[in-house]
Structure 1
């Protein structure tokens, strides 16, 4: 897939943090609440010291640099264990400074926006050097997009920064922004040492297979090169130079195990923590996932959602009236119930494109679309798409009559739906969508496409009417999602550049609202603008968020403080075993 296009959840890199690092209003509405996390929680004092925890990865990471195009969620997981995280997220994605790395942080000015980080004087890299402004400055220079020599997949808010320098003391870092950036709490996480980002060679190649230094409760100091592993576990060991509460475990063996092999590996006692979400999505009965002897299946909402994208750039759905009518006919509650109820999770259709249901600031704005089959029917009729007489059935052969189809100016209406090969869940949702659209006279033909060509050859190329895929949620909503809804730009030759907007439709108003929300430093103003932007997105109908994805994680009995984390990150120093 071209680097300029965004990434689907679970197949390529995790979308980096960027946007409103603020606490917004609580979730609205009186419906069921999402299950934000589900852990095998235990007090640290009850966790034994020692042992190796075997944690399943999808595959051996191809890079240790989370900012590169081929970084994966596994890359991010390793980084969380061995690199500085300046802010930690709770289950609602609220950010607080991590005291192991920051003794404090303050915004000292709004014009220009200025942030001063007070680093923990005890915080050091594994080579003995203290964390310093030099590390921040090198990472900013690598990620601000001003030099094409750095092969970075995104610039996040680093392109909004005008300077990074040492503050008043040796452990102070002063960051000045050229334009307001409300997402500043998502920057410099993970933080890499200057040796890993200070030059293009170090950033592009040096940090792919090894780290010049790390700084966490665990370390990869014994790992010489990822290339030498050849599918073996990536082992992080207790960091002897860690200044905080020491890790309970001796080591974590991050073990490559494809989703379809994990149940067998769990039964054989070869894994202690394994995400089974993909296996269940691909057709493994949840009862099987929940009945592995000696394990507990933890269930929560993932920081991701399933969405239906409508192609507004070409084909029938480029007609905005038709696109909205098709979107109105989708019964998202029925789809959420069919998928989530059997998994033991609350049935909650997602009502926001920008904020997940378990994040503060969530509002269900879906009423702006005026959903419902009756509304869809009225709008189709008004747009000139009328039901044609249905062909009669073949009574002699007892063939049922064909469903009536809508036509306009003699043209019959028919749409295609792209889904991924191997996903039983996609097949289930496709059948529901086919039935729902069929009721209003819109035939839907499902086309199954292999994962390696789904985006590059079809979605990114605009070769689809409807496409079903999962999408990662932004831990700090809005700024990172701006490109996904940005109005396509007109090129000098008159053609359109859709950028990362897969629906190829947008408005100036949505662009302006999202830009203002991303720059709003006042939490209440940011919340108001976010809700207004999402309301306008619903009315434009570029996509439909269906439901927040389930996260199903099997954890071996006796393993403490692991499970379905949702937006939270593992507190790695507290992971371990009880009863040993």
Structure 2
């Protein structure tokens, strides 16, 4: 898994600010507009062909990060591989299309719609009469009811990671016949299409023991184009076999084998034939592109940009080879053999349904003042930062304009204007207004800190842990009122917030409830045009004898090179307005658990996934932290600790509004307020690079869309596929 932005699934002008953080939000249209939503920045890159051009049979070997600990997607340790298996073998009432919007899955559903709103919301599902489990039993109301009871949150014996939406269901009953399922809600729920996707059989959901343990290592009963044939933890692979009882379009492949292959081993696994399909990092993408060139231009002696060689150049290369040691020649020979094998692959490029953000920890220190957070945001040239990562890959370098949706999704709109564009003069004015003075006097201890502030480099985890703490203030932003809808405490068994609809894209671990002080740190927005003190130079900014230095924490593992490049550029941009940074690199294993989730950072880079249901899934990420009974602070997934009552209320309204256009408008309003609070700054949509054997079709970089497993396969002999304009060759 690449740390380019560190990996989960959420993603879109002019707003006037008043003093003391009050925000005047512009009136938003009551209906969703295609102009606002736009279209995806890049389409799928999967070598699409008609099913008549796909060979019947064959095994697709597909790389995953690891063999999943559980096959139950509703448990806290579920991961991307868990999702991949569930998509292939289980029913889903709705799947996402290429624009990240939910669409009815006709293999399971004839129809699904809200049939009543008064006195309560009622959704009627009409199932396809052919839809059966692999044991021959019809899919029906009993399965829906068992999943609701398991995920409702009413029975703590079920170790669930989330219950959002299921907790609003009042009852589930059979409709007019066995093919109808009638779901009645106790409260209106706009994101009802998110429910029952995937749907597990009642055998899995029926009892706590079956839920907690029964589906972790095996799925005996399935209902998809494939079934789980074998899980081999010794050889680290999962075998999915074609389901002979599948009633939909027959799967083209006989098997899909998911192999656990670390990111830094994937080029070798591709070259030796272990896998046919694998997400890769930019370095491996360059290797594959280089391998696709003419022979004689792909040795490390020449480099990736070498041009066709002349006789003299070949002689020079030969002389260089003779100077190599025996070990070096052996390594070179191995590299060349791999490059030869990599000619059989191409790189399919798109965007992941996720964005990379700069997180600003607002719990204490300088960033507790929203003026400083806004200054950081105004100092950033987000377009330039996007170019650092995306331009070398040939992808559009367009900054993300929303925290809650990505371009193409219904809720997307660019609300970054609520904070303001890149403007170093305004950034300096905000810092001046907050009391940070250029060239101000420093205390002795501060002078030492200032001297070290500009030095960027790696520190030990012990050094990192000694700096800063999680004790401090939590931000209430626009006001100090209690939230209207108190968020639930973390489930003790799972370590997750009760309404978790999405997961952060690193280790899946949540905030563990550290002790923090209560209080707020209100800040005023500097009037537009406020200038820094006359004649002042942008140097070390100081306040009360302390320099303005922010601790910037980054992961150090494989695939983190792009993050480091982005961080270096951010540091230079901040230095221009007088903010110094200290970059600390930590191990991937401790990055989220010991630093992000526990609040041990000032600045950090990590990613959040896009969701088709932001009112539900994004709420825990931006909910205002609330004190728990034991004095700890429940931050859910809001690792910046910046939140407001207004944002919480807008999420609640959006989740309870059954008019889809009105709900999208409320989500956009919430996003404008999130921008204004400046707790997190979306930078760019994450690139998705997938190496695929050239004969593999209907698979690669899927973008938003749920993969169609039954259409994947290998191109028939003699058939041709038109190359994608974004694919590497």
Both proteins in one fold, TM over 0.5: yes
Structure 1 residue 97 displacement after superposition: 1.0
Shift of 1:16: 11
Match of 1:432 in 2: 569
**2:152 maps to what in 1?**
144
SS in structure 1 opposite 2:359?
A: strand
Matches within 5 A, 1:73-222: 73-111=80-118, 112-220=120-228, 222=229
Measured at CA, do residues 232 and 321 of structure 1 come closer, stay the same or move farther in structure 2, by a change above 3 Å?
closer
Q: Whole-Å Cα distance in 1 between the matches of residues 213 and 553 of structure 2?
A: 36
For the pair shown, the structure with the greater C-alpha radius of gyration is 2
Distance 1:105 1:520, change over 3 A: same
Decide whether aligned partners of structure 1 residues 495 and 154 sit closer, same or farther in structure 2, where only a CA change above 3 A counts. closer
From 243, 259, 262, give the equivalent of 1:258. 262
TM-score under structure 2 normalisation? 0.72
Residues 1:29 and 1:256: Cα distance change in structure 2 (over 3 Å):
closer
Report the aligned-residue RMSD. Answer: 2.4
Q: Does 1:275 align with 2:275?
A: no
| Correspondence for 1:69 | 76
Which of these residues, 334, 347, 356, is aligned with residue 297 of structure 1?
347
Q: Counterparts of 2:9 and 2:354 in 1: how far apart (Å)?
A: 10
1:284-326 per-position Cα deviation (integer Å, ceiling 9, x unaligned): 2632143431112111110111111111112221111111111
Equivalent residues of 2:145, 2:172 under 8 A apart: yes
1:546 is aligned to 2:683: yes
Question: How much does 1:361 deviate?
Answer: 2.9
| 2:431 equivalent in structure 1 | 380
| 1:208 positional shift | 0.1
Q: Secondary structure at the match of 1:75?
A: helix
Deviations 1:500-519 (A, max 9, x none): 21111211111111111122
SS of 1:67's equivalent in the other structure is coil
Is the partner of 2:688 in helix, strand or coil? strand
The alignment partner of 1:375 has SS state of helix
Q: List gaps (5 residues or longer) in structure 1.
A: 1-7, 18-22, 392-399
| Shift, 1:33, TM fit | 5.8
Q: CA–CA distance in 1 between the matches of 2:132 and 2:631?
A: 54
The residue matched to 1:92 in structure 2 has which SS?
A: coil
What is the match of residue 353 of structure 1? 403
Structure 1: how far apart are the matches of 2:32 and 2:88? Answer: 29
Deviation, 1:524, is: 2.0
Q: Aligned equivalents of 1:42 and 1:333: distance in 2?
A: 35
**Change over 3 Å in CA distance of 1:373–1:176 after alignment to 2:** same
**Quick one: distance in 1 between partners of 2:35 and 2:617?**
21
Out of 381-390 and 128-137, give the one that drifted further.
381-390
Alignment of 1:47-58 (within 5 A): 47-58=54-65
User: Structure 2 vs 1, CA of residues 235 and 318 (structure 1 numbering), >3 Å: closer, same or farther?
Assistant: same
The answer to whether structure 1 residue 334 and structure 2 residue 341 are counterparts is: no
* Residue 404 (structure 1) shift: 1.4
Is 1:416 matched up with 2:467? no
Other structure's SS at 1:470 match: strand
- Report if the CA contact (8 A) 2:6-2:607 is conserved: no
Mapping 1:515-526, distance limit 5 Å:
515-526=652-663
Range with greater deviation from structure 2 (284-293 or 238-247): 284-293
The offset of 1:275, in angstroms, is 0.9
TM-score normalised by length of structure 1: 0.90
Determine the C-alpha separation between the residues in 1 that align with 2:441 and 2:278. Answer: 51
Alignment of 1:223-262 (within 5 A): 223=230, 226=231, 228-262=232-266
Q: Is the 2:355–2:608 contact (alpha carbons within 8 Å) kept by the matching residues of 1? A: yes
Question: Contact 2:441–2:542 (CA<8 Å) still a contact in 1?
Answer: no
Deviation at 1:449, TM superposition (A): 1.4
Q: Which moved more, 1:368-377 or 1:340-349?
A: 368-377
CA positional deviation for 1:428: 0.4
The separation in 2 between residues aligned to 1:373 and 1:46, in whole angstroms, is 56
Superimposed CA distance per residue, residues 311-363 of structure 1 (whole angstroms, 9 cap, x where no aligned partner) = 11122211111111112212211110111000110011101000112323311
8 Å Cα contact 2:41/2:396 also seen in 1: yes
**Gap change, CA 1:416 and 1:479, over 3 Å in 2:** same
- Secondary structure, counterpart of 1:35 in structure 2: coil
Farther-moved stretch of structure 1 (316-325 vs 426-435): 316-325
- Could you tell me how far apart the structure 1 residues matched to 2:37 and 2:574 are? 28
CA contact (8 A) 2:550 2:582 kept: yes
Q: 1:476 to 1:552 in 2, by over 3 A?
A: same
Q: Quote the Cα distance in structure 2 between the aligned partners of 1:390 and 1:373.
A: 23
Any unmatched runs of 5+ in structure 2? 12-30, 292-341, 443-454, 456-536, 718-729
Q: Provide the C-alpha distance between the structure 2 equivalents of 1:365 and 1:191, rounded to a whole number of angstroms.
A: 35
The answer to whether structure 1 residue 287 and structure 2 residue 338 are counterparts is no
